A and B are shown apart, each in its own frame.
Chain A
């Protein structure tokens, strides 16, 4: 199984410049926090899903749906209990608290899906180039993209090690919390040791391929801000501004919620 999220497809979203995609990502992080009304949040969710559809990246939802569902259920329940409002619904739960919980859950879900679409449409190398084009030194940009790469690598190593330890009779799910954390020791130590070891080879290989050999560097991937990028950025900025104006005008809030 390929543990990385990137989907090699030729879509409108894939073809955008990495800088544009980074801007969209940040915008998509901001947008859900403009509103409080779940109805409006559902609108934002629809927008992000539409983007995912355009990028033909919704297949990755299948890999994270469980996390999304867990966020939805836990957040909604938690806020329903903790928050308070003025319209009793049932038992001690008020309508406003329930809606607020639902909104908060949607906010988190939207940011997670936006992140997923970004990783599904942007190569690690593009992240690096994007950062370099924004004026960040290549070494730092490379470190960021390497960190992104490390996550799936560690997941794969962890899966193999999990099998090896379960074969020895390791049972992760027994005992109290402390016991359970201790249960994971046989996983963590080998994952750590293996990762450090392969990181060492990795850095030797980098040096051996001339990483940082000269001050100038070329890029194999061709990136350029086109008219399309400008259009997308302007359109999205306008949308964001419009939403903020809407909210300031008094729409999309949630009346009567108190913590």
Chain B
């Protein structure tokens, strides 16, 4: 059979870059296959995507060697527009690729370009909106959709061109769990169709189980290209490639099982665990719970106290309703819930960006309405999700010095604080660099440092791990943990469940503007059914532990409590 996509010796170097983004890639994808591409940031995954429809070499300026053939035709030979009919490309940034005033027009844009007749367009719009489960949304403005719906719309707008190959570049990175699920369901449906070839770049290992093949890219080269379940069992290879291995698989790997025997899912794991006659030691588990309790005793007095907080936006939407919450000094609190559940609205009350409609918020014992934003900023530092929304200086040093400077500190003090903050985020000695030349992970660190330089007691982090690869996520969260151990109170708003499990102490779950669950992370994650109602799902290792009797939060804890027969 002739391959749908065939890539031979592809080398691509962006203009002005020393290192090639892709460095000798050979790849064939057959019709109807579902291929997942994984690998660390900067490995060339996105470059591979844009080389499929001719954006490389036609849109980007750079040097291309080798050959990319789609349906037998070299991408050098035609314009992007011509290949668009065969390869549909969906980008990670769904906000930037939607531009129409309603959903139907957005979907119709592609067919319009190919001069599809109106009746056929109407049929396609209806059909693809059904495929992405957006029926009835035809007249909605894209701006009013949730993140998950927007990304589904972006997929629909490409499907309407009826391409034979669909390539999704990290489609779920910016989505909440329920949004992610929606995308995976679409992928599932498409996978069952023989006439659509699916190529997906994905970070979430738990979601790649259904793929036919997994390709791991590293520094522009393919390091592995094998059936999905084989790659997923290769724990060491994944770790070396900054890809998070499946937790249950890693557990059995650490227990010394031979690679071919490794279970992948919690269900498979439970079967294997029981078959071997292993058990979870109640005593050792009790020690974990006691350690939780002991940590809790170490907290100081409350630094943030929320009482009966209700927030109504000017358009009448009630985002929070009767919330009571207290955060003590030294805590590490995770705020969970799907988008629109009120998480961000809540934390914006802590630094004074929002004022309560009803109820009170005390920070450091004083009402936030009586403190200015700048004074509150002294106690509560807020790191926004996208570092590019705050970086504006020419050098890293100036960026971090912004907070201290506007608080009129003297030169010596500023220098000391900037150096201290840069050291805390492991960017010491890089003060002279241009922040825009850094990687996303490093820019994230600059953003954290710029908040740390003010020495706030409480640090709010909004989605601190979004858009980072596994290794970067780990190093970011290890940094946050060090800050916490050094005395900072941490409040993290996040969708990344394993991060909550391994790093946070306490969790509060929001649903429809109200607190649905709160307690230690262990207590909260033990209640899987309640979590599911809030559209959340604990990580594999937690489900695995729950199924075997006790909630554990990490592979390390599971190893600790397991007794071999």
Contact = CB atoms under 8 A, between A and B. Distances in A.
B89 A208 contact: yes
A204 interface: yes
A218 B115 CA distance: 5
A166 B121 contact: no
Interface size class of A (residues with CB under 8 A): 35 or more
Contacts of B388: 190, 193-194, 197
A207 interface: yes
Interface string A209-233: 1111110111111100000000000
B454 A169 contact: yes
Given A190-B391, A207-B84, A213 B402 contact: no
B158 interface: yes
Contacts of A188: 392
A194 B121 CA distance: 33
Interface size class of B (residues with CB under 8 A): 35 or more
B144 interface: yes
A186 B373 CA distance: 17
A137 interface: no
Given A207-B59, A210-B85, A164 B389 contact: yes
A205 B454 CA distance: 40
A167 interface: yes
Name the residue in A165, A186, A210 with the highest tally of chain B Cβ atoms < 10 Å from its Cβ: A210
Interface of chain A: mostly helix, strand, loop or mixed: helix
A205 B55 CA distance: 10
Given A2-B141, A214-B114, A205 B390 contact: no
Nearest to B404: A169
A216 B112 CA distance: 9
A1 interface: yes
A205 B96 contact: yes
B96 A169 contact: no
Interface in B101-130: 101-102, 104-105, 108-118, 121-122, 125
B93 interface: yes
Contacts of A197: 96, 388
Given A170-B406, A186-B392, A190-B391, A210 B108 contact: no
A204 B389 contact: no
A167 B53 CA distance: 42
Contacts of A70: none
Contacts of B392: 185-190
Interface in B43-86: 50, 53, 55, 59, 79-82, 84-85
Interface string B123-146: 001000000000000010101100
A4 B101 CA distance: 9
A35 to B, nearest CB: 35
Contacts of B377: 167-169
Interface of A: 1-4, 6, 8, 123-125, 146, 149, 156-157, 160-161, 163-171, 185-190, 193-194, 197-199, 201-205, 207-214, 216-222
Shortest 3 CB-CB contacts between residues of A and residues of B: A213-B81, A189-B392, A220-B108
